[in-house]
Each structure stands twice: as C-alpha cells, then as structure tokens.
Amino acid sequence: MDQVSEVFLKDIWDEVMAIYVKESKRIRELKNQSRLQAGIMNYLRVAWRKGKTNWSQGRLHIDVYEPFSWSDDSYKIEAGPYIAELTDEQLTEEVFPALCERMDQLFRSEELGPLFFDYRFEVVFEFERERSRISLHRNLLNESKLHQLQQSLEHFIQSKILADLPVLPNDNDMFFFARHLVNPDLMKQEEEVIEPLIRRLLDKLNMSRKRKNEWIRQYTSAFNTWAQEHFLPQYFVPSGDYGFEWILKEEDRQVVDEGEMDFFLYIALQIGFTEPDNRKKYLELAVKLGSQRAADYLKIGSGKFANTFRSERVECSNNDVTQLIEVRILSEEEAAYGEALDYIIHLLRQGFSKSYSLKLKSSQKHFLPLKKLAKSKLHQFFANALTYPALFPKLAEYADTVMEEFAWYGDVEPGEKSVMPGTYAVMGLGLYSESYYPLVGRYMELVDTEHQMVQDDYAEAFIDAHGLTAEKMPVLVSILLGGNEEGKYVKNETIDDPELAGALVDVLKGKKDHERELVLYRLFKSSDKLAGAARKSQSPLKEELEQLLALWG
C-alpha cells in the first residue's frame, strides 16, 4: 500500500478504535440484554466532506450508527495535507479494501465483547472532491452469529410464544421479536408464518391490556419499518417532510416481487387497526404498482363479509378493510333504522371491527343533548334511531354486542371526542328509558376513564332527563364512577333530602375509598362544603350528611 494511503488509513482506524473502546465500555455495562439481540453495532461510515472554499480543506466524518437524513451526529476530525495527494485509485483499490479487511477481522472477533457487534455489518466509504464523489459500501456477515441467533429465536418461540400461560416474554424480548418477524434472515416473510405468532401472543396477553397494547405497538412499528425502509424504496422516492410521502420512480424501478407485495398488503391490513391513515396510504401505493387486490380492498374490502343489503327502505354496504359501514335511509321510518341495525349487528357478530366509522345519508338530523359528543354521522344515526321507542330493545342488543373495553369508534380523529363502541346507543337509552339503567351501569364499568372524557357531562344530562330519587341513586353513582378521575362537579343536583342522602350512604358503603371520594367530590365539590352543609342541616338530614362525611375519610 502507498505510504499516503497508509497514513490516511491509520488516521481513520485510530479514530474508529477510540470510539469503539468507549462504546464497548458502555455496552458491557448494559443490563438485561435480550437473548434475541446478537449484538448492537452494525454500521460504520467513513466520509471525507469537502471544505467550503477548497475541497482538500474539509474534515473526516465518522458515524458508528446509521444516521438519520435530517441529523448530523458524526465524529469530526482533521486530517493532514496528504489528503490532496490521494487519488481515486488509491482510495478505491487500497484504502477501502484495507479498511474492510481490518473491520472484518475485528467484526469476527470478540475483542470488544461478545455483544458488541450484530451478525451483520455495513461499511460505507465516501470521499468528496470539488466535482466528483466516491461512494463505496460492503456488507459483512458473521454466519456463526447468525446461526446462534436463529437457534435462540426458535427456542424463544417454543418456550415463550407457543408455551401455555403463565409463561410470557418480557418487554425487552418482545421488542426484538417484533423486529425479527420482518427480518428475512430469520423468518419467511409470509402471512402464513408471521400471523399465527402475532395472534398467539395477542391471545396470551389478553390478561394485560397494557402489555397487549405494547405488543401491538411493537409489531406495528416493525411492520412500518419494513415497509418504509425495505419495500417502498425499491419502487418510490421519499419526499415531503421526513420522507413521509412517496413518488413513483420513473427509472431504475425494480420489478415487483409477488411474494413481497403479498406481505406488504398483509402489513397494510395489520397496521390499519391502529393506523388507518397509513393503511390507506400503503394500499394506494400498492395500486400504483398495479395491485388489483389493493384496489379491491379499497373499493369493496376483503370479501369476508357480504358487501351490500338493499330493501325498499334502506341501502347498506361495508368495507372491512377501511372499517367503514355506509347506510342510506330511503324512507325515514322505524323499519328502515331497524333493518340498518340488524345489518350492523350481523356484521359485528361475524367479526367486523367494532372500531368502525359510518357514512350516513339521511334527511333527519338528530343528536343527543350532550355537548361533548362529536356530531358525527355515527352519532346522528343512533340519535335518529332513538326517536323510535320500539327500537330500544334492538339498540340495547346492538350495545351489548359492540361494547368493548379500551376500544374506540373510528368516527372522529383520535382525541378527546373519541368514544367506546356503543356510547351513542347506551347514553341515549339511559336518557330516554329507565329500563336501560343496568345497561348504563355495564357501560360505565367498561369505559376507559383515563382516556375518555365525554361521559363526564352525562350525570347532569341524566338528572335533567329523570330527576333524582333514592331508587335512581345506584345508577347515578355508577355514572359518576364512570367519569374521568378529574370529573366535573355536578351542578344541577343538591343532596338536601334525607332520603337521597341515606340512599347515597347505602350505595357508598359497598365502594372502595377512592370511589367514595370521587363520587362525593363530584356531588359536594369538597369535604369542607359537605361539612358545612351538615352543620347547617336539621335531623334527620344532618345525620345522613355526617355519615357521608365519615365515608369521605
């Protein structure tokens, strides 16, 4: 090797090793590393970036982690005047091959620790001149480490995924497992292989909604990474902020691999449960690549459900892929809404998503008297149906079918207007008929009080609709407990009757301390106000209020 090339290589290697020694110390100190992680370091980029006024007055940039396009965290060092003497031939035939050889030897050793390097490693070398640029890269593979990882993954699947409860993987293992599912070195990229494993773990995690949601988040993230870093760049050029838009390549576009397209469509459907906008985008991109299946998905759905229903009174259709139900009321009458409800209930019992949205064409425009509820087409449909008392039993049947803890309708953008499936039917029934108080109670036990807020106003609406008696106290308490933990004070009712206060005491005796405090806060605003009311009251109201104060703790 030429002396100038040797000097340049030494400067590079000295800097790389100095960085690696520090990284090695950090990695050795990491705790609870996953058995599914072969190693951490898998990338090195060495780049000469030209100077602003003279290309040879630039700096050497070293990246030991693959950089994001919008950031620059490179290690930057100066180099000697020898840079101007280096030729493209020396860089291509001497420096880069020698750098790769040293890197390969280090990569295959355990000099920096057994978990320092992953089983794959990419070496990138770039050199900028005034009007030209060299760009070289080489992929290294440690077959022994890959084989060990394959064995670890198979053992993990057998012992942690397929094994019966109570055996479960930890969160760290789930992170790597999700990413291994879309790694062709480790798993076949086929729905028939991947889906049973995802479904098995989902079923096992039903015991913990938090962990189940985390697993969904992990595999959704892995699927998006596969789509955006592997599949789409073969056919599209990223554009827009952070490359979230994709423009079809006019040249150098690869022929679409049928197997990869099938897997991409599977991914699009899977992420659609939590990211419907991404699902739609992916399907539209697949259509641009000529996928008739993607076009059918967007137009009519998967074909799993009977698509249409028509009668003299109503027309209904659905798309399970976009999770949309369409209802067109041809004749504004009870029977039309009854037929539409039958259609929706039947879909739900067949497995249609409870997080659906609804497109409605109707000349009637009713809404429930609850300010926080979004005035969506779904809300309008149920408010219209609630104008027909004969449909109340069918609406209750619908609610019992669709209610699901931690699920959300898709009728609004995720946020403070989002509601649990069944909300519009249940809240309407609870306002219009005493017969459905038990249904209201079941709803309030299921509702996600940490993330849903619209039910906070329901107590006042309920009191406006029915008034408050001792017999209604149990359902009112269930409504108050179903409110957000910082639920609002109920302004339209004062507990100034001994029968009401006594009924409240009886209900609260069977509740936990924090439940009692929430109910009493929402009815009295503070323990001081309750104490003041008790002092000013006469028997027997005084004694009942004092019991309530004692329950406040």
Condensed to tens digits (0 to 9), the pLDDT of residues 435-447 reads 999 999 999 999 9
Question: How much is the pLDDT for 382?
Answer: 98
Asked whether the predicted pLDDT for residue 553 surpasses 90, the reply is no
Amino acid in the structure at residue 94:
E
458: Cβ–Cβ under 8 A, 6 or more apart, which residues?
370, 427, 430, 479, 482, 483
Asked whether the predicted pLDDT for residue 363 surpasses 90, the reply is yes
Are 403 and 446 in contact by the 8 Å Cβ rule? The answer is yes
Asked whether the predicted pLDDT for residue 241 surpasses 70, the reply is no
pTM (2 d.p.): 0.79
Tell me the mean pLDDT in the region 316-323.
Answer: 94
Q: Which range among 50-54, 357-361, 548-552 shows the weakest confidence by mean pLDDT?
A: 50-54
Tokens for 478? 């269930």
CA 535-536-539 angle, to 5 degrees, is 85
Asked whether the predicted pLDDT for residue 300 surpasses 70, the reply is yes
Domains in the chain: boundaries = 3-141, 146-300, 308-493
Question: How much is the pLDDT for 275?
Answer: 87
357: Cβ–Cβ under 8 A, 6 or more apart, which residues?
323, 324, 325, 376, 377, 378, 409, 410, 411
Query: Phi/psi class of residue 152: alpha, beta or left (left: φ > 0; alpha: ψ in -120 to 50)?
Result: alpha
Query: What is the dihedral sign for C-alpha 407, 412, 413, 416?
Result: negative
pLDDT in tens, 426-437: 999 999 999 999
As a whole-number percent, the residues of the chain with pLDDT over 70 amount to: 99
Q: How far apart are CA 191 and CA 208, in angstroms?
A: 25
Question: How much is the pLDDT for 274?
Answer: 83
More confident residue, 406 or 156: 156
Asked whether the predicted pLDDT for residue 493 surpasses 90, the reply is no
Tokens for 134? 């060299």
Tokens for 159? 């012992």
User: DSSP code of 421?
Assistant: T
End-to-end CA distance of the chain: 84
From the list 20, 12, 10, 71, the residue with the least C-alpha distance to 46 is 12
Q: Which range among 2-11, 160-169, 232-241 shows the weakest confidence by mean pLDDT?
A: 232-241
The H-or-E segment that residue 137 falls in is strand 133-141
Kindly indicate the confidence band of residue 465, based on its pLDDT and cuts at 50, 70 and 90.
Answer: very high
Cβ count near 79 (within 10 Å): 18
Q: Which range among 52-56, 99-103, 124-128, 307-311 shows the weakest confidence by mean pLDDT?
A: 52-56
Alpha carbon dihedral 245, 248, 254, 256, in 10-degree steps, equals 80
Are 521 and 513 in contact by the 8 Å Cβ rule? The answer is no
Q: How far apart are CA 291 and CA 262, in angstroms?
A: 9
Sequence-ordered alpha helix ranges (H) in 306-436: 334-349, 377-385, 392-402, 423-432
As a whole-number percent, the residues of the chain with pLDDT over 90 amount to: 84
Cβ count near 502 (within 10 Å): 18
Q: How far apart are CA 161 and CA 392, in angstroms?
A: 44
Asked whether the predicted pLDDT for residue 334 surpasses 80, the reply is yes
Question: How much is the pLDDT for 69?
Answer: 62
From the list 368, 354, 428, 439, the residue with the least C-alpha distance to 397 is 439
Tell me the mean pLDDT in the region 216-227.
Answer: 96
Burial class (CB in 10 A: 0-12, 13-18, 19+), 107: buried
Tell me the mean pLDDT in the region 134-157.
Answer: 97
Alpha carbon dihedral 328, 333, 334, 338, in 10-degree steps, equals -20
Kindly indicate the confidence band of residue 5, based on its pLDDT and cuts at 50, 70 and 90.
Answer: very high
pLDDT in tens, 368-415: 999 899 999 999 999 999 999 999 999 999 999 999 988 899 999 888
